[in-house]
Amino acid sequence: MTIEFRGVTKRYGGGAAAVDELSLTVPDGSMTVFVGPSGCGKTTSLRMVNRMVEPTDGDVLLDGRNVRDIDPAELRRGIGYVIQHAGLFPHRTVLGNIATVPMLSGWSRRSARRRAGELLDTVGLPAELGSRYPAQLSGGQQQRVGVARALAADPPVLLMDEPFSAVDPVVREGLQDELLDLQRRLGKTIVFVTHDIDEAVRLGDRVAVLRVGGRLAQYGTPADVLRHPVDDFVAEFVGKDRGYRGLSFLSAGALEVGEVVTVEIGSVPGESGEWRLAIDDERRPRGWLAPGSTVDGSLAEADLVAGGSLYRRGTSLRGALDAALSSPASLGVVVDDDGAAVGVVTARHVLDVIERHPASATATSRTARA
Amino acid sequence: MIAETVAWFGDAANWSGPGGVPARVLEHVGYVALALAIALVIAVPFGLLVGHTGRGAVLLVGAGNIVRALPTLGVVTLFFLLLAESTPAAVVGLVVLAVPPVMAGTYAGVQSVDAHVVDAASGVGMRGMQRLWQVEVPIALPMVLGGVRNAVLQLVATAAVAAYVGLGGLGRYLMDGLAILDYAEVVAGAVLTAALAVVLDLLLAGLQRIVVPRGVRLAELTRSKGPA
Ligand SMILES: Nc1ncnc2c1ncn2[C@@H]1O[C@H](COP(=O)(O)OP(=O)(O)OP(=O)(O)O)[C@@H](O)[C@H]1O
Ligand SMILES: [Mg+2]
């Protein structure tokens, strides 16, 4: 379902505009992320889609139909809505929470609960959590239940307002991955709000950068916004690391993988003057054996220096550079889809590839001008 | 004094007939129950409405405070005199006193529901009444019942005082005892009134345990201990 904002303005109580003449289109089946500093009108913009806020001026259209013409309760049952604090109903079990919208839409209790059970699985929660109450869940689990509740009636549109901001960074990354995966499988049209540019770039097919006063500063793909910020505000907002972040969009096609000496855990490694990569019996990297280190008998995990991040072959150059920079041996370990080590890359080699990349050349020149 | 009071309780004559303890307790409970029932019918809808819409809160709280400041015996006597000196008049006085705690508890209960939860209820497509009954009322229940318990304590005590204007119930022992300077009877009346208050409060506490949703109780525990 396509969402279109057409000249949408919102003033609260006749004051200054919270959202000013917003016009943009979120294409069917894609995810658009609204990003911007606090108070720039992200939440207000989002809530005008499900009429939790009524525009002062302009229209929001769903597949060309003006939301003003749809009964608010009906409209909202057809739009999944996830908020920052999950907003779960404390008196209902997890299953009861997830079954809310199907029940409101007149499903039988049994089919609503069966559907709720399926959704637990969809959002990666074990079935036995279904009978718990929200107070018995961790923050991350509550967020997942919030997402499951929003998905329960299989709405074509999902609105998510900083859904992951209250959980710790590790959990957040997991939830982001799962959202991307869900999006690929379910093909929902999603509007996602965050003030974290990293999250925006990671999740969005398109990113809408808003400035205080509720004006749209730039709307484009993440790569576009990072490489070609339209003005100083956007450039400032996307931050100092935008060149590095931009690497996320450079594919590593031309990257050659070098060879590395490996030693298997449990074998007798002997002596060597160079870094050697320790692997297990399935060739998965376990760490590094430092040059000149001596091992009593066979090689054990305790003899190793912890490795850096791993670079999965075929993904973006950002991961390759990070693997090289984080490795104690200055050699980024490259793994295949099964996690088996296939070789190494150096930072120098990654940089060579970046410099030869045509897109990055324009990015560099634009940045120089800015 | 204690010995005489014990003797009063030991006297079989005080346990039978229309002036006996069982009859007086029943009478007393009857007034309390009647006044409470009427007060609930008036106070709960108002409390819910004000809590749900957020409108009229200042008026509600202000009116409640005024009634609370009135001397209870004065209120009961006033209605008794206004309404032709009948038993219903005394009951009306009791109702007036029971309404504010119930209304305040109901309003505060609905008002205290987490704003994010209320927002989520509208956001998933609940209409106003669905939000009220499916979300606000269950979560407000502990505080509604807290208001009811306050009202019942107030009613048990005031109904005793209302014997002054001719009401039956346990207050009779106070009035009649004072009239003939039988202090054992006065003390017995006071003890019975206090005991009734305690028993009714315990019953309501039990009811609270049964009807308050488990998830709401768990959430309260988590809140008081800090988030998990
Ligand atoms: N209900 C309201 N009444 C009055 N003003 C409001 C209301 N909601 C938001 N505003 C104002 O509108 C502006 C935009 O608010 P909004 O919540 O949309 O911002 P936001 O981008 O979501 O911010 P944040 O990142 O802090 O959540 C702010 O200046 C805010 O103070
Ligand atoms: Mg916001």
Nearest CA-CA distance, residue B113 and chain A, Å = 10
Find, among A167, A195, A162, the residue nearest to A36 by Cα.
A195
Of all protein residues, whose CA lies closest to atom 12 belonging to ligand 1? A18
Can you tell me the mean pLDDT for B90-95? 86
- Out of A20, A38, A44, give the residue to mutate to test ligand 1, the one with the largest number of ligand atoms within 8 Å of its CB: A44
Nearest CA in chain B to A155: B124
Of all protein residues, whose CA lies closest to atom 11 belonging to ligand 1? A18
Of all protein residues, whose CA lies closest to atom 5 belonging to ligand 1? A12
Which residue of A49, A70, A91, A133 is the best one to mutate when testing the B interface, meaning the one whose CB has the most B CBs within 10 A?
A91
Which residue of B112, B117, B124, B221 is the best one to mutate when testing the A interface, meaning the one whose CB has the most A CBs within 10 A?
B124
Find, among B130, B35, B221, the residue nearest to A133 by Cα.
B221
To the nearest whole number, what is the mean pLDDT of chain B? 89
Question: How confident is the model over A100-111, as pLDDT tens digits?
Answer: 999 999 999 999
pLDDT at A356: 77
CB contact under 8 A, B228 and A138: yes
Can you tell me the mean pLDDT for A287-296? 87
pLDDT at B225: 65
Domains of chain A, by residue range, sit at: 3-240, 262-359
Of all protein residues, whose CA lies closest to atom 25 belonging to ligand 1? A38
pLDDT at A362: 42
pLDDT at A123: 87
Which amino acid is it at B134?
Answer: Q
Buried/exposed A113-147: b ≥16 CB within 10 Å, e otherwise: bebbeebbebbbbeeebbebbbbbbebbbbbbbbb
Nearest CA-CA distance, residue A286 and chain B, Å = 35
Inter-residue contact A82 to A159 (CB < 8 Å): yes
Class of domain A3-240: alpha beta
Q: Ligand 2 center to residue A278 CA distance, Å?
A: 47
* CATH number, position B51: 1.10.3720.10
Can you tell me the mean pLDDT for A289-301? 86
- Output the six-digit token pair for A208: 């809408």
Q: Who has greater pLDDT, A243 or B41?
A: B41
Find, among B60, B63, B65, B62, the residue nearest to B49 by Cα.
B60
Can you tell me the mean pLDDT for A213-224? 93
Nearest CA-CA distance, residue A93 and chain B, Å = 7
Can you tell me the mean pLDDT for A309-328? 87
Is pTM, for the whole model, over 0.90?
no
pLDDT at A359: 55
Buried/exposed B137-160: b ≥16 CB within 10 Å, e otherwise: bbbbbbbbbbbbbbbbbbbbbbbb
Into how many domains does chain B fold? 1
Chain B residues touching A101 at Cβ < 8 A: 124-125
Ligand 1 atom at minimum distance from A162 CA:
27
Round the CA-based radius of gyration of chain A to a whole number and report it.
Answer: 25
Which amino acid is it at B60?
Answer: L
Find, among A76, A55, A54, the residue nearest to B131 by Cα.
A76
Question: How confident is the model over A138-189, as pLDDT tens digits?
Answer: 988 999 999 999 999 999 999 999 998 878 888 888 889 889 988 998 899 9
pLDDT at A370: 34
Q: Please state the ipTM of this predicted complex.
A: 0.83
B137 part of contact set with chain A, CB < 8 Å:
no
Which amino acid is it at A334?
Answer: V
DSSP H stretches of helix in A37-167:
42-47, 72-77, 94-98, 100-104, 109-122, 139-151
pLDDT at A368 over 50: no
B119 part of contact set with chain A, CB < 8 Å:
yes
Q: For tokens 């006597």, name the residue.
A: B77
Name the percent of chain B lying above pLDDT 70: 97
pLDDT-derived band of residue B89, with 50, 70 and 90 as boundaries? confident
Nearest residue, CB atoms, B124 vs list A86, A100, A135: A100
CB contact under 8 A, A52 and B127: no
Count interface pairs A-B at CB distance under 8 A: 85
pLDDT-derived band of residue A363, with 50, 70 and 90 as boundaries? very low
pLDDT at A77 over 80: yes
Counting Cα atoms < 13 Å in the Cβ hemisphere of B67 gives 21
pLDDT at B196: 96
Inter-residue contact B85 to B141 (CB < 8 Å): no
Q: Which of A33-47, B85-99, B211-225 has the highest mean pLDDT?
A: A33-47
Nearest residue, CB atoms, B120 vs list A74, A77, A83: A83
Q: Who has greater pLDDT, B77 or B109?
A: B109
Q: What residue numbers bound the domain in which B43 lies?
A: 2-225
pLDDT at B83: 75
Nearest CA in chain A to B127: A73
Class of domain A262-359: alpha beta
A167 part of contact set with chain B, CB < 8 Å:
no
CB contact under 8 A, A89 and B117: yes
pLDDT-derived band of residue A361, with 50, 70 and 90 as boundaries? very low
Q: A-contacting residues of B 169-188, CB under 8 Å?
A: none
Q: Ligand 2 center to residue A45 CA distance, Å?
A: 9
| CB-based burial label for A284 (10 Å; 0-12, 13-18, 19+) | middle
CA B221/CA B224 separation, integer angstroms: 5
pLDDT at A141: 92
Can you tell me the mean pLDDT for A264-269? 87
To the nearest whole number, what is the mean pLDDT of chain A? 89
Q: Ligand 2 center to residue A44 CA distance, Å?
A: 7
Chain B residues touching A106 at Cβ < 8 A: none
